[in-house]
Structure 1
Amino acid sequence: MYKNKNTKIISTKEALSKVQFICSRQEKCCSDIRKKLQNWNIEKQEQDEIIDSLVDDKFIDEKRYTGFYVRDKFRFNKWGRIKIAYHLKQKRVPEQIINEALNQIKETDYQESLQELLKNKLKSLKEDDPYQLKSKLFRFAQSRGFESQVSLQFIDKLLSSLK
């Protein structure tokens, strides 16, 4: 009854040209491109052909994309491994590629990042009860995607240094 204004109808050749341009300007994964092709009402078989062509011509490389994604989300968004992996799984990146990219994060950088986040969060909290303080810091670390054990270890260190 109503037409979706965002739905574009384009030919397969045009779609290939457009996604090549998109991929040449910014790293994309297969699922990002598939969504775009679906929005353009490209048939499933043609979507597969376009994506295969992009992979063959090195416009799309899941390993390269995952490496950039992990570095950017860790460095700029201060996300932990759990949150990064979750978002990559949502994009249907293979688990082996995700694990390889996550292993590129240096453990010292990872711990320093968490420590810095927790220190900054502690400054903003107005809590006297140590139990409440610990739980708020823990929930914050979890929301950023850091592992429970690592989070608790640094929270305990941080809180014991305040005593």
Structure 2
Amino acid sequence: MGICPFFFSYMMIMNKKLFTFDEIRQKLVSYCVYQDRCHAEVEQKMKEFLLIDEAKEEIVLYLLKENYLNEERFTRSYIRGKFYIKSWGKNKIKMNLKQKQITSKLIDTCFDEIDDNDYKKVIKKNYEDYYFKQIGLDDYQKKMKTIKFLINKGFEYNVILDVIEA
């Protein structure tokens, strides 16, 4: 059959250490196991290694086949983390996922990870926390400043108004 076309691209010089194709693949498996990754993050990580396109494709296919790389799982995990841990709103989460080259359709599908009641509770809690920290302002100024704060966290203006006027 002959020599595998990937053979010569499997080696890489990084800090004067050579890696075989299998070592590179294992490093990328470890990278994906540590936390869920999207395709763009894996592609970026592969730039550390001098691989030809065919070798990159083979690694990505392996990661997909073995379920180390799963875009939907990544998206769902990302949404949960950014909402429940960082208290980001949907707009900010969506913008950051688009920067990671996740499709709008997948993002919209995965937003069911955020419970509507939890979403409103987080808005209300953030609103109250921020509102009462404002000192020396009248109520209108506090309200406007707090709404701006929530918009910057990625919450939708109409949802904010619904929550604070309820």
Partner of 1:84: 93
CA spacing shift, 1:95–1:8, aligned 2, 3 Å: farther
Q: CA deviation at 1:44?
A: 3.3
Give the one of 111, 116, 119 matched to 2:120: 111
Quote the RMSD (CA, aligned, Å).
Answer: 2.2
Question: Partners of 2:155 and 2:86 in 1: how far apart?
Answer: 13
Per the alignment, do residues 82 and 7 of structure 1 end up closer, same or farther by CA in structure 2, a change over 3 Å counting? farther
Are positions 1:49 and 2:49 aligned together?
Answer: no
Compared CA separation, residues 9 and 151, structure 1 to 2 (3 A): farther
Could you state the TM-score of these two structures normalised by the residue count of structure 2? Answer: 0.82
Work out which of the two has the higher radius of gyration on C-alpha atoms and give 1 or 2. Answer: 2
Q: How many pairs were matched up?
A: 153
**Structure 2: gaps (5+ residues):** 1-13
State the 1:24 CA deviation: 2.1
The one-letter amino acid of 2:86's match is N
The percent of aligned pairs where both chains have the same amino acid is: 27
CA distance in structure 1 between the partners assigned to 2:47 and 2:81 by the alignment: 27
What are the residue-to-residue correspondences of 1:54-133 with 2, within 5 Å?
Answer: 54-133=63-142
Q: Which amino acid aligns with 2:33?
A: S
TM-score (norm 1): 0.83
Q: 2:25, 2:143 → 1: CA distance? A: 52
Structure 1 unaligned spans of 5+:
158-163
The 8 Å contact of residues 138 and 155 in structure 1, kept in 2 or not, is answered as: no
Distance apart, 1:125 and its partner CA: 1.0
2:21 to 4, 8, 12: 12
- How far 1:152 sits from its partner (Å)? 2.6
Q: For 2:162 and 2:18, how far apart are their aligned partners in 1? A: 54
- Higher fraction of helix: 1
Q: CA deviation at 1:136?
A: 0.9
Whole-angstrom distance in 2 between the partners of 1:31 and 1:78: 24
2:146 is aligned to 137
Whole-Å separation in 2 of the counterparts to 1:43 and 1:63 = 27
Aligned partner of 1:24 in structure 2 is 33
